[in-house]
Structure 1
Amino acid sequence: MEIRLADPSDFNEIDHLLEAAKKQMAQAHIYQWTTDYPNQKIIQEDLAGQQLYTLIDQGSIVAVATLTTEAPADYTLRRIATDPAYLANGYASILLNDIINRVKAKNGKHLYSSTNHSNLKMQNFFRKHGFEKVSEYKESEREHLGSFYKYLKRI
């Protein structure tokens, strides 16, 4: 198992993983992502910004997450997803713990993330990993999906 920054050669595999995750979420009535989000442009921006991490197991990318810096001590975790074929193997937890360690190494103090009100699995995942819900808001261009919850983990 390896966790590393994604590189441009990973684009197709990451795009496939996110598309599969979107379909799985829609089937589970989780209204967080849309047919237009996340999209190939966002993947390209994450790759160019060197902020997209991959968890690779036996040569396949099984989980991804984007980590952005908002301020010197504030980081945001975005678009964490596991390939539906690999769900329930703990890959997202392994990736999250690695990212938390990376934030610690950079003297980060806060790790933020968010999820839709309908994504109970992700809400439980955040609580399990020591995040607390700090606010509720509407996501720009996804207002029709209802409330999103912002979570914070103090490092």
Structure 2
Amino acid sequence: MKLRRAEMKDLQQIESIIQDGKQLLAAQHIDQWQGNYPNTNVLVDDIQNGRTMVLVDGYDVLGTAAVIPAPDESYQEIDGQWLTAGNSYVAIHRVAVSSHHHGKGLSGKLLAAIFDEIDQHPAVKGVRIDTHPENLGMQHVINKAGFTKTGTVEVKADDQTDVQDFAYEKLTKSAATVYAN
């Protein structure tokens, strides 16, 4: 398995994985991703702008996530407090793993590989992520990955704008040494 930037040839597999995620959330009666988000336009924009990372095994895309440089419109206001200040962070959105590979810890492996990539950029001090309050599975993945819950945010990209998602942040290796001193 390896992490790489998505290419347009990956779009069909990414869309399939996102649909898997939508179906899983619907089956759990979680009102996340149940509208028109994320849609093909969002996914294409992410790929074309180099923001989509995929965990692959050969030609199979196992998982996907968008890694977006600051500032993130959804993270401008928080009911709580971020661990880092300013725009020295990246945001992770649209994390999903193929339904054919659930239960194999791939979400954690995907996030770990993304952290390794982000740690190559010392200017980035934090990694931010959010999830729906009822999405216990993703909350487990986020907590296990070492994030700290920092408050709640209103996600601007989703058409479900009345939901206050739980917000999390994790310090990068370069920031952890700075903040530890």
Which residue of structure 2 aligns with residue 50 of structure 1? 50
Which residue of structure 1 aligns with residue 75 of structure 2? none
Higher relative contact order (CA 8 A, sep 6+): 2
Q: Which of 56, 68, 93 is residue 78 of structure 1 equivalent to?
A: 93
Which residue of structure 1 aligns with residue 104 of structure 2? 89
Is 1:102 matched with 2:117? Answer: yes
Distance 2:52 2:151 in 1: 25
Distance 1:59 1:90 in 2: 19
Which residue of structure 1 aligns with residue 28 of structure 2? 28
Distance 1:65 1:138 in 2: 19
Question: Which range is displaced more, 25-34 or 116-125?
Answer: 25-34
Q: Any stretches of 5+ residues in structure 1 without a counterpart?
A: none
Q: How many residues are aligned here?
A: 154
Q: Give the number of the structure whose alpha-carbon radius of gyration is greater.
A: 2
Which residue of structure 1 aligns with residue 82 of structure 2? none
Q: Any stretches of 5+ residues in structure 2 without a counterpart?
A: 72-86, 173-181
Report matched runs for 1:114-133 at 5 Å. 114-133=130-149
RMSD value, Cα: 1.5
When normalised by structure 1's length, the TM-score is 0.92
Contact 2:35 2:160 in 1 (8 A): no
Higher strand share: 1
Distance 1:68 1:139 in 2: 14
Distance 2:58 2:31 in 1: 31
Which residue of structure 1 aligns with residue 167 of structure 2? 150
Contact 1:22 1:35 in 2 (8 A): no
Contact 2:68 2:92 in 1 (8 A): yes
